[in-house]
Chain A
């Protein structure tokens, strides 16, 4: 592999020589080569249990750049490859309508950056040395930026891309700071160095030093993952990007942040209560905040982006449970927490990419992302509706699909902590259970709204009424995740064994095969299959009975009105979310136009009404900081005059200053 990856990297530069169609297939070939080699090595590591190591570049800065695949990397490699495959498959027909008004170069750039993103993501999980890691991390952020601004003729897309890039770089500095700290403390400039770190037992503000160190990495990786105060790029970048890129980013790229956090936490010398408490509380808050914001959105892709934040919260709850279990010496709780978190990483990549592809298909055919303008699409795009339904059921954590399995594992970790008598751990786990229960209920609310408003009922605008089904390749791209969603739901035991083999080395004393949870998962898979089979039987039985009865069609009961317009009679997305928005008023500002009628106005004239909700926390906590920063930066912009004489004057002053300081022996 040491030869293949640089070769593919160099070959990818040749993309720019091809025409549009040929470039797609050329990059596809390169990608196939990449996927086959990396997946081959990943599967080899997973099945044989031996880590794979290979030197890529000798004498890269001070250490050789080593490619190291252990079981965690292998799992992530498979997830990355699969999602990139479905995303690329989806991309061909999705980008076709843009060919008329975009230059050829933007397409070539897009395919090239897609390949770059794929290869850099794979390298991120394979490189453990900090220097190489930091290099490929930066390349990954850059290539994702280039992909996000595909529709660069719209100014809001560029704005979204810049916002994304700036936040990624802020996080990048924190990661660099973290690694420098590791190097200073243990002398090893890599993830392994964290194992050898020693912390002074000094307490700053009552919290041990190791927590502040962890906070550096948390902010760095958390910006990428999308944890609560660092999430603001997500709901802006994901709708701006083309749908296959949103699916890819949501499905895999934010998991790179999770990967970094898992590496840091796995290698941490001794976890303490503050880290676990912080992880759990911020994940619960992220999850609940994410899904609450999702409910009041009416842009379909923004809704899905906020849902990604919620699922990162669920993964964070699993990780928090894992850390707290280790702190309180309950290895079973910890193992189940980590297993649930890792399985949710896999599951989320599957159903979130599926949901984004469906949303993209809807956008391509109706040219609107606003839920309040859609409706009745199940009759026009049945396959997309079916895909969205499976994704919606899976993401709410409902059996028989895979979302339930990962939540089941995390719940089991939480409930297992009650079995030993103590006060502190059950009290903390109480918050976890309440958080997960609320998140599940809110996700159900949000996705019934999303699915119901977009696909069911009557079409609310003519655009929605004239939609058609999408091309077969896009349908195939949706079918592949559906296949895995159903398989993980029906045969959870295999995936459980896969995940536990990844974390086995951290918990050598637990024999994962003999836990009672294997029996539970066996039963769950069996029940899922029985549910599906019984459903088919019952449905056939019902159809048989209905054949003998008189079945007729009629209009929906509209309370007897003669000329009711079915499109305006039905509930809109805003009205569906209204009773929730009333409860959540402290968190959201509702901007709606005020309608008043004059006293002498007997027959009201037509009026327009607009309403939209904004996030209060973002407005009061984050925006003022950003705005003051912009004000101060604008003051500094005085130095940018645009004249070349001024730019020569600045170095001249600098040279004079250095000479003066050297003469007077200050430097």
Chain B
């Protein structure tokens, strides 16, 4: 339960931090850290316009998306001290497929609008999420291989540090998870969130026709998704040390903040890839995950 609360707290500062970092690196004064939440409160007060082409799928999808993210946040354990609120054998599978449920509904709500823009975003989103799926499976498989447990909570509890594969795993899975969260939320280098060209958008364009309360839900969902992945990265990094509880809580929050700043820095210094090269890039991340798994497999067998 502790990690879920921490994730929710970190989700509050996350989008603001990214925006402030990007602003500072481009030499601007930047908005306040709470600006995204001012926007969300403003959206919550507004009314909505619905397109006549849409149906009930459009009304239902943002609700399902945020619900899925809230339930997914309950799966994350807190290093080796506390298990997540929900834990059982094979829970990471339900975690991954719950996110897929949210994605399914967002994609069909984009198609519901019946406009070419949303269709574009929908098919790109479907392709890239399909290509990045193996990456998260390989990270989980490597964890099962290293610890012999198949529940997220027990994996982080029984991680033993003396094998050389643990450092390998921590370094590489942090990198892969960083890129994975960038791809899932459609940030640079896949897609520029600040662009106003609909032809180049992925996520932004899928929610183009949402307004008011639904838009606020989408904004909250984005922050929550980042925070969940930051929680997983923090858990992975905290494998390396065994510390008292209050220090681990501090380091957890610190890692989430560093994660946000890293995303801001990466976004400031990168250009968007050509759309054709995007699928190659996504497949590379999956490829790195597969190679990491194979190397850990070889190490475990002392080869």
Contacts and interface: CB of A to CB of B under 8 A. Distances in A.
A570 B94 contact: no
A445 B93 contact: no
Contact of A433 (B88, B141, B212): B141
A534 B66 CA distance: 11
A419 B111 contact: no
A504 interface: no
Contacts of A440: 97, 100, 133
A444 B103 CA distance: 9
Contact of A416 (B123, B150, B209, B213): B150
A258 B141 CA distance: 29
A229 interface: no
B213 A546 contact: yes
Given A398-B100, A557-B208, A408 B90 contact: yes
Given A451-B108, A557-B209, A444 B115 contact: no
B114 A556 contact: yes
Which one of B63, B115, B122 has the highest number of Cβ atoms from chain A below 10 Å of its Cβ? B115
A398 B97 contact: yes
Contacts of A580: 123, 127
Contacts of A452: 107-108, 111-112, 122
Contacts of A448: 104, 107-108, 111, 122, 126
Interface string A516-544: 11011011100100110011001100100
A430 B293 contact: yes
B74 to A, nearest CB: 9
A56 to B, nearest CB: 44
Contact of B131 (A397, A419, A441): A441
B279 A423 contact: no
B104 A398 contact: yes
Interface string B33-57: 0000000000001111111111111
Contacts of B127: 445, 579-580, 583
A542 B112 contact: no
A218 B83 CA distance: 46
B86 interface: yes
Contact of A569 (B45, B115, B301): B115
Contacts of B89: 412, 516-517, 519-520
Nearest to A398: B101
A524 B95 CA distance: 11
A558 B115 contact: yes
A578 B119 CA distance: 12
Contacts of A389: 57
Contacts of B212: 546, 549
A396 interface: yes
A361 B108 CA distance: 21
Contacts of A523: 86, 88, 91
A523 B83 CA distance: 15
A458 interface: yes
B49 A458 contact: no
B67 A531 contact: yes
Given A437-B133, A444-B126, A571-B120, A520 B90 contact: yes
A362 B113 CA distance: 21
B179 interface: no
Given A421-B300, A546-B48, A456 B111 contact: yes
Interface string A19-48: 000000000000000000000000000000
A415 interface: yes
Contacts of B140: 415
A418 B144 contact: yes
Contacts of A531: 67-68, 71
A411 to B, nearest CB: 5
A416 B51 CA distance: 48
Interface string B135-164: 001101100110011100000000000000
B63 A535 contact: yes
Given A457-B53, A457-B111, A549-B47, A571 B116 contact: yes
B168 interface: no
Contacts of A303: none
Interface in A432-453: 433-434, 437-438, 440-442, 444-445, 448-449, 451-453
A393 interface: yes
A416 B150 CA distance: 8
Contacts of B68: 531
Interface string A396-414: 1111000010001001100
B271 interface: no
Nearest to A448: B107
A376 to B, nearest CB: 7
B8 interface: no
A631 to B, nearest CB: 42
A258 to B, nearest CB: 24
A555 B52 contact: yes
A437 B53 contact: no
A11 to B, nearest CB: 48
A656 interface: no
Contact of A457 (B114, B129, B148): B114
A644 interface: no
B30 interface: no
B297 interface: yes
A570 B116 contact: yes
A539 B56 CA distance: 11
Contacts of A434: 134, 137, 290
A613 B112 CA distance: 26
Contacts of A550: 47
Of residues A418, A550, A557, which shows the largest number of chain B Cβ atoms within 10 Å of its Cβ? A418
Contacts of B297: 423, 426-427, 430
Interface string A371-388: 000011011000000000
A649 interface: no
Contacts of B213: 542, 545-546, 549
Nearest to B135: A437
B104 A444 contact: yes
B293 to A, nearest CB: 7
A552 interface: yes
A444 B130 CA distance: 8
B53 A458 contact: yes
Contacts of A396: 100, 104
Nearest to B113: A556
A376 B114 contact: yes
B295 to A, nearest CB: 12
A550 B46 CA distance: 8
B197 to A, nearest CB: 11
Contact of B94 (A399, A553, A569, A577): A399
Contact of B100 (A444, A449, A552, A577): A444
Contact of A408 (B47, B93, B124, B130): B93
Contacts of B144: 415, 418-419
B111 A571 contact: yes
B6 interface: no
Given A456-B57, A566-B114, A549 B48 contact: yes
A519 B151 CA distance: 12
A571 B117 CA distance: 8
A440 B45 CA distance: 39
Given A539-B59, A550-B47, A556-B54, 12 more contacts: A393-B101, A418-B145, A419-B149, A422-B301, A457-B114, A535-B63, A538-B67, A549-B48, A554-B50, A555-B52, A570-B116, A577-B123
17 contacts: A378-B57, A399-B94, A404-B97, A416-B150, A418-B145, A421-B301, A430-B290, A434-B134, A457-B113, A517-B90, A523-B91, A531-B67, A551-B49, A566-B115, A569-B116, A575-B123, A580-B123
Interface of B: 45-57, 59-60, 63-64, 66-68, 71, 86, 88-91, 93-94, 97-98, 100-101, 103-104, 107-108, 111-120, 122-124, 126-127, 129-131, 133-134, 137-138, 140-141, 144-145, 148-150, 198, 208-209, 212-213, 279, 290, 293-294, 297-298, 300-301, 303
In the A-B complex, the 6 residue pairs with the smallest Cβ-Cβ separation, listed nearest first, are A571-B119, A452-B111, A441-B130, A457-B114, A550-B47, A549-B47
